[in-house]
Homo-oligomer: A and B are copies of this chain.
Amino acid sequence: MKIQAPYLMFLGDVPDQLAAKTAHGIVDWRREWCVGQMRLPGCGADLSIPDMDIVEGREAGAKTLVVGVANAGGVLPDHWTAAIVEAIEAGMDVASGLHTRLGSVPEIAEAAERMGAKLHDVRHSTQRFATGKGTKRSGKRILTVGTDCSVGKKYTALALEKAMRDAGMDADFCPTGQTGIFIAGRGVAIDAVVADFISGAVEWLAPEADPNHWDVIEGQGSLFHPSFAGVSLGLLHGAQADAFVVCHEPTRTNMRGVQHKLPTIQEVIDLTIRCGSLTNPAIRPVGIAVNTHALGEAEARDYLAKVSADHGLPASDPVRFGVEEIVARLKESFAG
Protein backbone atom coordinates (compact mmCIF):
# COMPACT_ATOMS: atom_id res chain seq x y z
CA MET A 1 0.00 0.00 0.00
CA LYS A 2 1.82 3.01 -1.30
CA ILE A 3 1.63 6.43 0.36
CA GLN A 4 0.48 8.88 -2.31
CA ALA A 5 2.65 11.97 -2.91
CA PRO A 6 2.66 14.97 -2.88
CA TYR A 7 2.63 15.54 0.88
CA LEU A 8 1.43 18.35 3.12
CA MET A 9 3.77 18.17 6.12
CA PHE A 10 1.90 18.49 9.43
CA LEU A 11 4.11 19.57 12.33
CA GLY A 12 1.47 20.19 14.99
CA ASP A 13 2.93 22.22 17.83
CA VAL A 14 6.06 20.21 18.55
CA PRO A 15 8.58 22.26 20.54
CA ASP A 16 11.73 22.02 18.42
CA GLN A 17 13.47 20.85 15.26
CA LEU A 18 14.55 17.53 16.81
CA ALA A 19 10.90 16.53 17.23
CA ALA A 20 10.46 17.06 13.48
CA LYS A 21 13.49 14.94 12.52
CA THR A 22 11.40 12.62 10.36
CA ALA A 23 9.80 15.56 8.53
CA HIS A 24 13.24 17.08 7.92
CA GLY A 25 14.46 13.77 6.48
CA ILE A 26 11.54 13.69 4.07
CA VAL A 27 12.17 17.26 2.88
CA ASP A 28 15.92 16.57 2.54
CA TRP A 29 15.34 13.64 0.19
CA ARG A 30 11.98 14.39 -1.45
CA ARG A 31 11.68 18.19 -1.51
CA GLU A 32 9.64 17.91 -4.72
CA TRP A 33 7.00 15.83 -2.92
CA CYS A 34 6.46 18.37 -0.12
CA VAL A 35 4.08 21.16 -1.16
CA GLY A 36 4.20 22.89 2.21
CA GLN A 37 4.12 22.66 5.98
CA MET A 38 1.20 23.14 8.33
CA ARG A 39 2.01 24.35 11.84
CA LEU A 40 -0.20 25.00 14.86
CA PRO A 41 0.33 27.98 17.19
CA GLY A 42 3.43 27.43 19.34
CA CYS A 43 5.21 25.13 16.89
CA GLY A 44 9.00 25.36 17.30
CA ALA A 45 9.91 23.35 14.20
CA ASP A 46 10.35 24.81 10.71
CA LEU A 47 11.06 22.91 7.48
CA SER A 48 11.76 26.14 5.55
CA ILE A 49 9.03 25.37 3.05
CA PRO A 50 5.83 27.41 2.54
CA ASP A 51 3.34 27.50 5.42
CA MET A 52 -0.12 26.37 4.35
CA ASP A 53 -3.41 25.39 5.86
CA ILE A 54 -5.38 22.35 4.70
CA VAL A 55 -7.27 24.21 1.97
CA GLU A 56 -4.07 25.72 0.56
CA GLY A 57 -2.28 22.36 0.78
CA ARG A 58 -5.05 20.67 -1.13
CA GLU A 59 -5.02 23.41 -3.77
CA ALA A 60 -1.26 22.93 -4.10
CA GLY A 61 -1.95 19.28 -4.96
CA ALA A 62 -1.25 17.48 -1.66
CA LYS A 63 -2.70 13.97 -1.65
CA THR A 64 -1.48 12.96 1.82
CA LEU A 65 -1.17 14.78 5.14
CA VAL A 66 2.07 13.49 6.70
CA VAL A 67 2.39 13.54 10.49
CA GLY A 68 6.18 13.33 10.50
CA VAL A 69 6.87 14.39 14.06
CA ALA A 70 7.66 12.62 17.30
CA ASN A 71 6.31 13.86 20.60
CA ALA A 72 6.69 12.43 24.09
CA GLY A 73 5.37 8.88 24.12
CA GLY A 74 4.53 8.87 20.42
CA VAL A 75 0.89 9.65 21.18
CA LEU A 76 -1.44 11.75 19.07
CA PRO A 77 -2.50 14.85 21.07
CA ASP A 78 -6.25 15.51 21.07
CA HIS A 79 -5.83 19.01 19.74
CA TRP A 80 -4.27 17.67 16.49
CA THR A 81 -7.39 15.68 15.63
CA ALA A 82 -9.32 18.58 14.08
CA ALA A 83 -6.63 19.30 11.47
CA ILE A 84 -6.37 15.61 10.55
CA VAL A 85 -10.13 15.30 10.16
CA GLU A 86 -10.18 18.48 8.06
CA ALA A 87 -7.50 17.03 5.76
CA ILE A 88 -9.52 13.84 5.31
CA GLU A 89 -12.65 15.86 4.57
CA ALA A 90 -10.67 17.83 2.00
CA GLY A 91 -9.92 14.54 0.22
CA MET A 92 -6.48 13.65 1.55
CA ASP A 93 -5.08 10.40 2.94
CA VAL A 94 -3.14 10.61 6.21
CA ALA A 95 0.20 8.98 7.05
CA SER A 96 1.62 8.99 10.58
CA GLY A 97 4.80 7.87 12.27
CA LEU A 98 3.33 8.01 15.77
CA HIS A 99 2.82 4.96 17.96
CA THR A 100 -0.88 5.79 18.32
CA ARG A 101 -2.76 4.34 15.38
CA LEU A 102 -4.71 6.95 13.45
CA GLY A 103 -7.71 4.63 13.30
CA SER A 104 -7.81 4.33 17.08
CA VAL A 105 -9.12 7.92 17.28
CA PRO A 106 -12.88 7.57 16.62
CA GLU A 107 -13.29 10.94 14.83
CA ILE A 108 -10.42 10.09 12.45
CA ALA A 109 -11.66 6.54 11.83
CA GLU A 110 -15.16 7.82 11.13
CA ALA A 111 -13.98 10.53 8.72
CA ALA A 112 -11.72 8.11 6.84
CA GLU A 113 -14.54 5.60 6.51
CA ARG A 114 -16.92 8.26 5.27
CA MET A 115 -14.47 9.79 2.77
CA GLY A 116 -12.79 6.55 1.67
CA ALA A 117 -9.42 7.92 2.79
CA LYS A 118 -6.43 5.68 3.49
CA LEU A 119 -4.79 5.85 6.93
CA HIS A 120 -1.14 4.80 6.94
CA ASP A 121 0.48 4.04 10.29
CA VAL A 122 4.03 3.48 9.12
CA ARG A 123 5.17 2.05 12.46
CA HIS A 124 2.55 -0.68 12.22
CA SER A 125 2.62 -2.95 9.23
CA THR A 126 -0.76 -4.37 8.27
CA GLN A 127 0.99 -6.72 5.85
CA ARG A 128 1.11 -10.39 6.87
CA PHE A 129 4.46 -12.03 6.24
CA ALA A 130 5.65 -15.59 5.81
CA THR A 131 8.64 -16.83 7.78
CA GLY A 132 11.92 -16.38 5.89
CA LYS A 133 12.88 -19.19 3.57
CA GLY A 134 16.53 -18.33 2.99
CA THR A 135 16.31 -19.64 -0.58
CA LYS A 136 18.57 -17.64 -2.90
CA ARG A 137 16.56 -15.31 -5.11
CA SER A 138 17.59 -13.48 -8.28
CA GLY A 139 18.55 -9.80 -8.32
CA LYS A 140 21.23 -8.13 -6.22
CA ARG A 141 21.07 -6.48 -2.82
CA ILE A 142 23.28 -4.10 -0.89
CA LEU A 143 22.71 -3.52 2.83
CA THR A 144 23.96 -0.75 5.11
CA VAL A 145 25.11 -2.12 8.48
CA GLY A 146 26.46 -0.23 11.48
CA THR A 147 28.78 -0.16 14.44
CA ASP A 148 25.75 1.25 16.30
CA CYS A 149 22.21 2.59 15.88
CA SER A 150 21.85 6.09 14.40
CA VAL A 151 25.17 6.20 12.56
CA GLY A 152 23.80 7.08 9.10
CA LYS A 153 22.52 3.79 7.68
CA LYS A 154 19.42 5.38 6.14
CA TYR A 155 21.27 8.39 4.79
CA THR A 156 23.97 6.14 3.31
CA ALA A 157 21.39 3.87 1.64
CA LEU A 158 19.62 6.88 0.10
CA ALA A 159 22.95 8.34 -1.07
CA LEU A 160 23.85 4.97 -2.58
CA GLU A 161 20.53 4.78 -4.44
CA LYS A 162 21.10 8.23 -5.91
CA ALA A 163 24.76 7.66 -6.85
CA MET A 164 24.01 4.22 -8.31
CA ARG A 165 21.24 5.67 -10.48
CA ASP A 166 23.58 8.49 -11.52
CA ALA A 167 26.09 5.80 -12.52
CA GLY A 168 23.46 4.17 -14.74
CA MET A 169 22.62 1.33 -12.40
CA ASP A 170 19.10 0.03 -11.76
CA ALA A 171 18.74 0.68 -8.01
CA ASP A 172 15.83 1.03 -5.55
CA PHE A 173 15.97 2.14 -1.94
CA CYS A 174 14.18 -0.33 0.39
CA PRO A 175 13.29 1.37 3.67
CA THR A 176 13.07 -0.50 6.96
CA GLY A 177 12.23 2.45 9.23
CA GLN A 178 9.56 5.12 9.36
CA THR A 179 11.43 8.06 7.83
CA GLY A 180 12.57 5.88 4.95
CA ILE A 181 9.02 4.69 4.39
CA PHE A 182 7.78 8.28 4.00
CA ILE A 183 10.66 8.96 1.61
CA ALA A 184 9.99 5.90 -0.55
CA GLY A 185 6.21 5.84 -0.07
CA ARG A 186 6.52 2.13 0.82
CA GLY A 187 8.52 -0.22 3.06
CA VAL A 188 8.40 -2.13 6.34
CA ALA A 189 9.17 -0.81 9.85
CA ILE A 190 11.19 -3.92 10.55
CA ASP A 191 11.58 -3.39 14.28
CA ALA A 192 7.77 -3.45 14.64
CA VAL A 193 7.37 -6.85 12.94
CA VAL A 194 6.67 -9.92 15.10
CA ALA A 195 10.02 -11.60 15.88
CA ASP A 196 9.27 -14.78 13.93
CA PHE A 197 8.91 -12.83 10.70
CA ILE A 198 11.93 -10.49 10.61
CA SER A 199 13.79 -12.25 7.79
CA GLY A 200 10.53 -13.11 6.02
CA ALA A 201 9.51 -9.44 5.98
CA VAL A 202 12.82 -8.51 4.33
CA GLU A 203 12.38 -11.26 1.75
CA TRP A 204 9.01 -9.65 0.97
CA LEU A 205 10.44 -6.12 0.92
CA ALA A 206 13.26 -6.95 -1.51
CA PRO A 207 11.85 -9.79 -3.62
CA GLU A 208 13.39 -11.61 -6.56
CA ALA A 209 14.23 -9.26 -9.39
CA ASP A 210 16.14 -8.86 -12.62
CA PRO A 211 19.72 -10.16 -12.22
CA ASN A 212 21.12 -6.65 -12.73
CA HIS A 213 18.69 -4.92 -10.40
CA TRP A 214 20.00 -3.67 -7.05
CA ASP A 215 17.84 -3.23 -3.98
CA VAL A 216 19.54 -0.85 -1.55
CA ILE A 217 18.32 -1.99 1.86
CA GLU A 218 18.36 0.33 4.86
CA GLY A 219 19.93 -1.46 7.83
CA GLN A 220 18.78 -1.19 11.46
CA GLY A 221 20.65 -1.41 14.74
CA SER A 222 23.89 -3.36 14.88
CA LEU A 223 24.88 -7.00 15.32
CA PHE A 224 26.75 -5.67 18.35
CA HIS A 225 23.88 -3.75 19.96
CA PRO A 226 22.51 -5.69 22.97
CA SER A 227 19.00 -4.29 22.48
CA PHE A 228 18.53 -4.74 18.74
CA ALA A 229 21.01 -7.30 17.36
CA GLY A 230 18.22 -9.80 16.72
CA VAL A 231 16.58 -7.35 14.33
CA SER A 232 19.92 -6.70 12.60
CA LEU A 233 20.60 -10.43 12.15
CA GLY A 234 17.16 -11.22 10.77
CA LEU A 235 17.52 -8.26 8.43
CA LEU A 236 20.92 -9.51 7.22
CA HIS A 237 19.62 -13.04 6.62
CA GLY A 238 16.47 -11.84 4.85
CA ALA A 239 18.45 -9.41 2.69
CA GLN A 240 20.76 -12.17 1.41
CA ALA A 241 23.12 -9.25 0.93
CA ASP A 242 25.58 -9.53 -1.95
CA ALA A 243 27.36 -6.44 -0.69
CA PHE A 244 27.36 -4.28 2.41
CA VAL A 245 28.61 -0.89 3.55
CA VAL A 246 29.66 -0.37 7.19
CA CYS A 247 28.42 2.89 8.74
CA HIS A 248 30.30 4.43 11.64
CA GLU A 249 30.49 7.52 13.85
CA PRO A 250 34.09 7.90 15.06
CA THR A 251 33.59 10.14 18.09
CA ARG A 252 31.00 7.99 19.80
CA THR A 253 32.27 5.86 22.69
CA ASN A 254 29.20 4.05 24.04
CA MET A 255 26.50 2.40 21.99
CA ARG A 256 23.25 4.33 21.93
CA GLY A 257 21.14 3.85 25.07
CA VAL A 258 23.34 1.20 26.70
CA GLN A 259 26.68 0.98 28.47
CA HIS A 260 28.47 -1.09 25.82
CA LYS A 261 31.50 0.17 23.92
CA LEU A 262 31.28 0.40 20.14
CA PRO A 263 32.75 -2.53 18.20
CA THR A 264 35.51 -1.83 15.70
CA ILE A 265 34.75 -1.55 12.00
CA GLN A 266 36.75 -4.75 11.47
CA GLU A 267 34.63 -6.64 14.01
CA VAL A 268 31.49 -5.55 12.19
CA ILE A 269 32.94 -6.63 8.84
CA ASP A 270 33.95 -10.03 10.21
CA LEU A 271 30.67 -10.85 11.95
CA THR A 272 28.58 -9.55 9.04
CA ILE A 273 30.43 -11.86 6.65
CA ARG A 274 30.25 -14.77 9.04
CA CYS A 275 26.52 -14.47 9.70
CA GLY A 276 25.55 -13.14 6.27
CA SER A 277 27.20 -16.07 4.50
CA LEU A 278 24.39 -18.29 5.82
CA THR A 279 22.04 -16.95 3.13
CA ASN A 280 24.65 -15.57 0.73
CA PRO A 281 28.12 -17.16 0.84
CA ALA A 282 29.43 -14.51 -1.59
CA ILE A 283 28.66 -11.55 0.71
CA ARG A 284 31.40 -8.90 0.70
CA PRO A 285 32.05 -5.38 2.01
CA VAL A 286 32.35 -2.62 -0.59
CA GLY A 287 32.88 0.48 1.51
CA ILE A 288 32.81 2.35 4.78
CA ALA A 289 30.52 5.34 5.39
CA VAL A 290 31.64 7.61 8.21
CA ASN A 291 29.68 10.42 9.80
CA THR A 292 32.51 12.97 10.24
CA HIS A 293 30.20 15.74 11.40
CA ALA A 294 32.23 16.22 14.61
CA LEU A 295 35.56 16.54 12.76
CA GLY A 296 37.12 19.43 10.84
CA GLU A 297 37.55 18.90 7.10
CA ALA A 298 41.28 18.12 7.18
CA GLU A 299 40.81 15.86 10.18
CA ALA A 300 37.92 14.11 8.42
CA ARG A 301 40.00 13.51 5.28
CA ASP A 302 42.87 12.11 7.34
CA TYR A 303 40.54 9.84 9.25
CA LEU A 304 38.89 8.53 6.06
CA ALA A 305 42.27 7.89 4.42
CA LYS A 306 43.40 5.88 7.43
CA VAL A 307 40.15 3.87 7.65
CA SER A 308 40.33 3.18 3.93
CA ALA A 309 43.95 1.98 4.11
CA ASP A 310 43.31 -0.13 7.22
CA HIS A 311 40.46 -2.06 5.60
CA GLY A 312 41.32 -1.95 1.91
CA LEU A 313 37.97 -0.37 1.14
CA PRO A 314 36.81 3.06 -0.04
CA ALA A 315 35.81 5.21 2.92
CA SER A 316 33.80 8.42 2.69
CA ASP A 317 31.38 10.68 4.50
CA PRO A 318 28.22 10.49 2.36
CA VAL A 319 27.09 13.97 3.45
CA ARG A 320 30.41 15.73 2.92
CA PHE A 321 32.12 13.82 0.16
CA GLY A 322 29.48 11.58 -1.46
CA VAL A 323 29.53 7.84 -2.09
CA GLU A 324 30.79 7.76 -5.68
CA GLU A 325 33.95 5.86 -4.75
CA ILE A 326 31.91 3.20 -2.96
CA VAL A 327 29.64 2.84 -5.99
CA ALA A 328 32.72 2.54 -8.24
CA ARG A 329 34.03 -0.26 -6.02
CA LEU A 330 30.61 -1.95 -6.12
CA LYS A 331 30.52 -1.82 -9.94
CA GLU A 332 34.08 -3.10 -10.20
CA SER A 333 33.44 -5.87 -7.68
CA PHE A 334 30.34 -7.11 -9.51
CA ALA A 335 31.51 -6.49 -13.09
CA GLY A 336 30.99 -9.32 -15.57
Contacts and interface: CB of A to CB of B under 8 A. Distances in A.
Interface string A188-213: 00111111101110000000000000
A294 interface: no
A135 B229 contact: no
Interface size class of A (residues with CB under 8 A): 35 or more
A271 interface: yes
A227 B278 contact: no
Contacts of A260: 134, 278
A135 B132 CA distance: 31
A223 B230 CA distance: 10
A133 B229 contact: no
Contacts of A135: 258-259
A224 B195 CA distance: 16
A275 interface: yes
A273 to B, nearest CB: 13
A4 interface: no
Interface string A244-283: 0000000000000111100000000001001100110000
A237 interface: yes
Contacts of A232: 230
A229 B279 CA distance: 11
Given A132-B226, A227-B134, A271-B274, A194 B196 contact: no
Given A192-B194, A195-B191, A258-B134, A230 B227 contact: no
A233 interface: yes
Nearest to A259: B135
A316 B10 CA distance: 62
B199 A190 contact: no
B192 A193 contact: no
A259 B228 CA distance: 27
Contact of A131 (B198, B257, B275): B257
Contacts of A226: 132-134, 199, 237, 278-279
A234 interface: yes
A190 B200 contact: no
A65 interface: no
Given A195-B194, A195-B198, A229 B233 contact: yes
A227 B133 contact: yes
A34 to B, nearest CB: 28
Contacts of A133: 226-227, 257-258
A230 B237 contact: yes
Name the residue in A200, A228, A235 with the highest tally of chain B Cβ atoms < 10 Å from its Cβ. A228
